[in-house]
Amino acid sequence: MVHRGGDNLSNRTLRMRIDGGGALLEPWLDELYKIGAEPGGGAYRPLYGTAWAEAGDCVERWMKKAGLETRRDAVGNLWGRLDGTEKGKVIVTGSHIDTVRHGGRLDGALGIVAGLTATEALMKARGKPKRSLDVVAICEEEGSRFPTNFWGSRAIVGSIGKDEADTIVDPNGVTIAQAMRERGLDPAKIGSAARDDIDAFVELHIEQGAVLETTRQPLAVVSAIAGGVHLEIVVTGRADHAGTTPMDLRHDALVGASVMIQAIESITRAIGAPAVATVGRIRAEPDQINVVPGRVVFTVDLRHSDPGARRALEERTRSLCRTIAAERGLELEVRVLQERPPVPMHAEVRAVLTRAAQECGVRATELVSGAGHDAQILAARCKVGMLFVPSVGGRSHCPEEHTDPGHLELGARVLVRTLELLAY
């Protein structure tokens, strides 16, 4: 797949397009970050929402201005095409355009903006590629509006369940199908978004952790994406009067859930890195100050790079919750919302990324991604590879998300060279 040769793009050209001072990388990231800006900081661009639509229109204008042929597929993935001179499978770069609540400036956006900047730089310096190059703004990855995620990449690999659009609802009871129709998309056509003509997908992304920063490395080629499971835990006790119910007669679902959450954190710490456990969402019913909570629903996100260890962590979590529920006279129900196995990145793409980094003067380290990414889904249909740049303080999924401009520029340069090796 890799074309030998392919003379390196001149640094001058690249510098003009990518580094600070008027190039497009930073100003475009700033412009995109303003879309969906939230009071209290960060941006929120939930799937099929107003900010999501505005961001897609903005990126589509940039794509057109860069001379790419644009199209939207049936679920709203935005594709910018640079046609190649030869027939055959396509090289794709990009990332997701949606964000978490109070999301940062770079998660997803960097991959889209750097992919577009890189493609434009290559087009200006090298003209048409041999193989067609697509830049994609994937419509949804985070699961921040609907209780499902990877909507865009699952559509591309054809793995969206036939009932999902009509049965999955957001907190306001709006189905994905209704939300699609509000955006002029037809849920009946979801299947048409599937593609089998992609040879390789390459994504530039922030690490969202602190490994690169603490080991003082400017770049990593991702070796694999850790596996994870999302559980929904329902604890049912008994709602009672807060004033008249003695403590020893209570079946308080919220206290029970809090003991479980504490225990989950303790066993995960005991197992040690890279095991991680997160309770990101909790709801107590009837959620009233003077009523002992009768029911609590909370989510658990469990991850580990080793599948066996991840399953063991899940088993420990389940048995701890069962024991605590029994001790407190509570009922317990554990639902699996989603389970994702660890996914290795493709050796050929890793080799091209490593070579491109070397040619840009950097020896890229290798890293397992604790965060999930579209590449773990697209791997079902094509070769995938990812490049990480450091996150300052390891922070992400928050307004503090930041990467030094020099690291952003280096990442974009390596992406340019990678695409040049793959497509020219």
DSSP structure class, residue 175: B
Give min distance, CB of 7 to Mn ion, in A.
33
Q: Check the CA dihedral 408-7-344-376 and report its sign.
A: positive
**How many residues at the interface with Mn ion, by CB under 5 A?**
2
| Choices 61-69, 107-115, 144-152, 415-423 (CB under 5 A): range interacting with Mn ion | 107-115
Give min distance, CB of 96 to Mn ion, in A.
6
Q: Which of 26, 98, 142, 314 is close enough to bind ligand HGY by CB under 6 A?
A: 142
Taking the mean position of all CA atoms in its chain, how far away is CA 263?
A: 28
| 31 Ramachandran zone, left/alpha/beta (phi>0; psi -120 to 50) | alpha
How far apart CA 67 and CA 76 sit, in angstroms, is 20
Closer of 142 and 314 to ligand HGY (Cβ): 142
Residue 70, beta-bridge partner list: 80
95-123 core/surface letters (b: 16 or more CB in 10 A; e: else)? bbbbbbbbbbbbbbbbbbbbbbbbbbbbb
| Choices 10-18, 104-112, 169-177, 256-264 (CB under 5 A): range interacting with Mn ion | 104-112
Question: Beta strands 365-369 and 220-225: pairing type?
Answer: parallel
Give min distance, CB of 133 to Mn ion, in A.
21
Closer of 371 and 422 to ligand HGY (Cβ): 371
Q: Please report where in the chains the tokens 């209780």 appear, as a residue.
A: 147
Residues 383-412, mask of contacts with ligand HGY (x by CB under 6 A): ------------------------------
Q: Which of 82, 112, 221, 371 is close enough to bind ligand HGY by CB under 6 A?
A: 371
Give min distance, CB of 107 to ligand HGY, in A.
7
Q: Are the CB atoms for 417 and 359 separated by under 8 Å?
A: yes
Alpha helices (H) along 109-216: 109-126, 151-156, 164-167, 176-182, 211-214
Examine residue 164 and tell whether it contacts ligand HGY (CB under 6 A). no
Give one DSSP letter per residue of 276-343, joined into a string: EEE---EEEES--TTEE--EEEEEEEEEESSHHHHHHHHHHHHHHHHHHHHHTT-EEEEEEEEEE--E
Examine residue 107 and tell whether it contacts Mn ion (CB under 5 A). yes
Examine residue 372 and tell whether it contacts ligand HGY (CB under 6 A). yes
Q: Are the CB atoms for 157 and 194 separated by under 8 Å?
A: yes
Examine residue 42 and tell whether it contacts ligand HGY (CB under 6 A). no
Residues in region 271-290 near Mn ion by CB under 5 A: none
Give min distance, CB of 226 to ligand HGY, in A.
9
Closer of 56 and 143 to ligand HGY (Cβ): 143
Closer of 70 and 278 to ligand HGY (Cβ): 278
Query: Which among ligand HGY, Mn ion, none contacts residue 203 (Cβ within 5 to 8 A by kind)?
Result: none
**How many residues at the interface with ligand HGY, by CB under 6 A?**
4
Q: Cα dist. 117→83, 183, 415 in Å? A: 16, 27, 10
Chain contacts with Mn ion (rule: CB under 5 A): 107-108
Chain contacts with ligand HGY (rule: CB under 6 A): 141-142, 371-372
